[in-house]
């Protein structure tokens, strides 16, 4: 006897724990708790559980991230860093989301999560050695539970999904959050990571910072779906859009997703709408592909200025606290400058180590060629 299609569909969903489509559809209107003038409007779906100390910490991390960003660009312009990728304008999305994690949760960043690293308190000097070309990254990922910065677009996503699944198998009570930009959602490895995590219901949050541009390609030319968050439907995970320039909304939405993952509810895709105020990297000239009007619009949405208005209205941003954070930022940057400036490089031939137990003949030949060219450049006698 034939059963109605809807009965079969319901039975299948129950058997395989497939969520109802209606539960996965994201609102196109992003979640926002702070208006541009700093007025707070609570959303019962995403409650805030932050006390005054927490609220001040969010400000502190945003300032540290922005000050370090400025110092890093100066170091690159002075020839001390090979390249640098700014997070200016994205501090609200990064700080709010990272603050929703526990210290033992893992973070898998791309190459732009400098404000996330401030929340995790990763030594900025060690991270900037990545930009200097000293080494892939001089920090110990296990110590900070902050994976190596990924330059190859999207590769960190599948690595994060793998670690989250492993933690699930080991019954380790952690959550993984991985960061990426809108451009990464066009990469195949992103599909693999999201599909894998959904099939295994891994404890992971996919945090996409939609900053409008994949280098010079606008979002409008990157996808045909209504929003990036809608892509979660294909993987059976909820997608949530949030105002990424609202640090409180970014925190509250992330906290719900983190709690859901930790309780066995599976992955969530968060699309944080923000804007890259600087160039894609210090090797890029954004004036060649975006207009000044766009930059002016987003400048008025500055996440730090909005949050300062909120804190001031609450009496949490007095002169003494502002000065304290400014001094901490200045001390951090002074140490970064003193330890990065003219820091020695390692042996470039180390590039050929740590992959094979025995270096293959073709790589040995390349290593010899590199060593010869370095010796010639130095004027060494042959």
Q: Is 139 a residue of the active site?
A: no
180 burial (CB, 10 Å; 0-12 / 13-18 / 19+) is buried
Residue with tokens 């990464």: 184
Q: Is 45 a residue of the active site?
A: no
DSSP state of 137: -
Q: 190: which 2 tokens?
A: 């992103």
Which residues are bridge partners to 218 per DSSP?
213
Q: Is 288 a residue of the active site?
A: no
Contact (CB, 8 A) for 12 and 18: yes
185 burial (CB, 10 Å; 0-12 / 13-18 / 19+) is buried
The Cα 382–Cα 378 span in angstroms is 11
Q: Give Cβ neighbours of residue 54 (< 8 Å, ≥ 6 apart).
A: 99
Q: 340: which 2 tokens?
A: 């990065």
Q: 144: which 2 tokens?
A: 């900070």
Q: What angle do CA 207, 222, 214 make, to 5 degrees?
A: 65
The Cα 333–Cα 125 span in angstroms is 9
Q: What is the largest CA-CA distance in the chain?
A: 89
Choose the catalytic residue: 132, 255, 280, 306.
280
Closest to 253 (Cα-Cα) out of 241, 261, 265: 241
The Cα 282–Cα 79 span in angstroms is 11
Choose the catalytic residue: 67, 130, 276, 306.
276
Choose the catalytic residue: 289, 314, 341, 345.
289
Active site residues: 276, 280, 289
């Amino acid at each position: 006897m034939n059963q109605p299609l809807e009965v079969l569909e319901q039975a299948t969903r129950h058997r395989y724990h497939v969520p109802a489509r209606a539960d996965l559809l994201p609102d196109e209107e992003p979640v926002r708790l702070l208006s541009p003038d700093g007025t707070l409007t609570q959303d019962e779906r995403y409650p805030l559980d932050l006390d005054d100390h927490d609220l001040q910490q969010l400000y502190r991390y945003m300032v540290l991230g922005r000050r370090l960003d400025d110092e890093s660009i100066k170091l690159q312009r002075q020839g001390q860093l090979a390249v640098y990728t700014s997070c200016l304008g994205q501090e609200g999305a990064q700080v709010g989301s990272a603050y929703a994690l526990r210290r033992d949760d893992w973070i898998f960043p791309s190459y732009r999560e400098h404000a996330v690293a401030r929340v995790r308190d990763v030594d900025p000097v060690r991270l900037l050695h990545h930009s200097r070309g000293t080494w892939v990254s001089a920090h110990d990922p296990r110590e900070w539970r902050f994976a190596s910065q990924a330059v190859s677009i999207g590769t960190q996503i599948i690595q994060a999904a793998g670690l989250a699944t492993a933690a699930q198998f080991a019954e380790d009570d952690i959550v993984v959050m991985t960061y990426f930009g809108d451009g990464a959602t066009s990469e195949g490895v992103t599909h693999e990571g999201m599909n894998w995590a959904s099939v295994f219901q891994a404890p992971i949050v996919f945090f996409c910072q939609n900053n409008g541009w994949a280098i010079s390609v606008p979002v409008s030319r990157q996808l045909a779906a209504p929003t990036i968050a809608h892509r979660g439907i294909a993987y059976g995970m909820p997608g949530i859009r949030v105002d990424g320039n609202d640090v409180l909304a970014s925190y509250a939405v992330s906290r719900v997703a983190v709690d859901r993952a930790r309780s066995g509810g599976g992955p969530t895709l968060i699309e944080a709408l923000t804007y890259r105020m600087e160039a894609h990297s210090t090797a890029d000239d954004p004036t060649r592909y975006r207009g000044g009007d766009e930059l002016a619009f987003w400048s008025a949405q500055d996440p730090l200025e909005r949050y300062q208005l909120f804190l001031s209205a609450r009496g949490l941003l007095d002169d003494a606290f502002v000065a304290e954070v400014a001094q901490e930022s200045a001390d951090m940057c002074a140490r970064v400058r003193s330890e990065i400036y003219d820091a020695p490089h390692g042996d470039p031939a180390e590039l050929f180590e740590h992959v094979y137990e025995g270096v293959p003949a073709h790589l040995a030949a390349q290593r010899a060629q590199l060593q010869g060219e370095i010796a010639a450049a130095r004027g060494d006698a042959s």
